[in-house]
Amino acid sequence: MAKQQRFLTETFGAYSQANVPPIDDTLARVGPGTPGGEYLRRFWHPVAQSAMLGELPVAIRRLGEDLVIYRDKSGAVGLLERHCSHRGTSLEFGKVEECGIRCCYHGWLFGNDGEILEAPAEPDDNPYVGKLYHGAYPVEEHNGLVFAYMGPAETKPPFRRFETFEQTNLVFSMGERLGGNVKPCNWLQIMDNVADPVHEAYLHASIFGVQFTDVDGRPVEELCDRGEDDYWPTEHGITCHVARRVKDAIWVRSMEYTVPNVIQLRNMPLLPPAFPDGEDTLGTAPLVTRWRVPVDDHNTVEYSFVYGEGESADYLDKPSDALATNYGDRPYEERQRYPGDWDAQVGQRPIAVHATEHLGTSDRGVALMRRMVREGIEAVERGEDPLGVDRSNDAVTPIYANEIIKHAPPAATADADKTLIREVSRAAFDQVRAGERPRTMTSAPV
């Protein structure tokens, strides 16, 4: 862990702190054999969108490894080391066959599990065919995303299923444009954003204008309130809350960090709420599950599922300002005048230098998340499963993020009301973790 070296005690003091300390290699590096890379390789990650796989193979880079992904003519997906085991030619120029991919250079044919099926220029008794294997990774395809497990075969866990995967009423669609959303920065500073719900009040609301809208398209001005933040570790991550007073109700804004690189979000509520007769609590429907997958140390790609009960194409076709500013292809001046997550995350350097930071009380979630990642790395180094790995074949990972709005008139004093807001926030977490979900708010409360 890099030691803090900047004390901010001098006016015009840039010279005395001009030397930038080193990065935290343990957390930041993702390549094979690195502590962080070995930790990340104990989980399944999305590596491509199904729509990316046409007639031709696709060269990709994930976790610092050069790979090729393709759909063979039988419909199965293969994920192989990019460079041919024979003479190193890239398989991105290979020919997709009925079962596997054939190298363009000398015709070696590899199965989706890496088996060398043919080496046509070699004699029949060659030492390769049917005996050796090119590097390959197991994959699972689910609702338009292709997931891969890139760790040791002996530690492969079952494919991770979130509770939203089991909800038959939900329609899945992609939350990113074709190819995913690539950000030229380290994965960890993007994940910091998940455990930092406080930033919404500033970056997404009060400084540059409100960037979020509710399901009816109204800007959520209530986000300008700083609110009361709190954080709860769970068996697979951290549930983050910011609770705010909204007239005679309390809105608990909730997002969830799931180890190692997943965020869970739900739709924002309609405010002020209209409670059905006899009810004082409402929730909202699932919105997105998003993964931040390292391309390498300096680049990350985002993939996500967006959920809806009907077609959810509006998420991309008519994006909120918050989503639009999560991409880096806007004009530079526009990004300066109206920055979003992309700019805040990428602007921390290609790899954020933790030793230059000065964390405060609002960074409790970030500190907790980084400690959770570090503890996961240490578990892997001890030969143990890190937090979040579940080896039950029928396991479903619950989602504790749940926007909740509760009828609760203001307390007698401002201090008492802060206490009430925090109590409602804690009760909301306890309720959802116990499996008790409030009625889902629709765009037309009754």
CATH classification of the domain holding 84: 2.102.10.10
Residues 168 and 143 in one domain: no
Rounded Cα–Cα distance for residues 241 and 253 (Å): 6
The number of beta carbons lying within 10 Å of the beta carbon of residue 413 is 9
For the stretch 131-157, pLDDT in tens is 999 999 999 999 999 999 999 999 999
- The DSSP 8-state label assigned to residue 85 in this structure reads T
Tell me the residue range of the domain where 237 lies: 163-440
Rounded Cα–Cα distance for residues 380 and 94 (Å): 36
End-to-end CA distance of the chain: 53
For strands 77-81 and 109-110, give the pairing.
Answer: unpaired
What's residue 144's pLDDT? 97
The number of beta carbons lying within 10 Å of the beta carbon of residue 190 is 24
Choose one of 119, 152, 185: the last residue of a domain.
152
Residues 194 and 297 in one domain: yes
Residues 306 and 423 in one domain: yes
Higher pLDDT, 325 or 8: 325
Higher pLDDT, 316 or 363: 363
Domain annotation covers residue 33: no
Residues 89 and 231 in one domain: no
CB 379 within 8 Å of CB 386: yes
How many domains are there within the chain?
2
**422, two tokens:** 């925090």
**274, two tokens:** 């209209």
Residues 144 and 169 in one domain: no
Residues 241 and 285 in one domain: yes
What's residue 1's pLDDT? 56
Residues 168 and 312 in one domain: yes
- The band of 4, judged by pLDDT with boundaries at 50, 70 and 90, is low
Residues 82 and 197 in one domain: no
What's residue 8's pLDDT? 82
Q: Which residues pair with 244 in a beta bridge?
A: 251
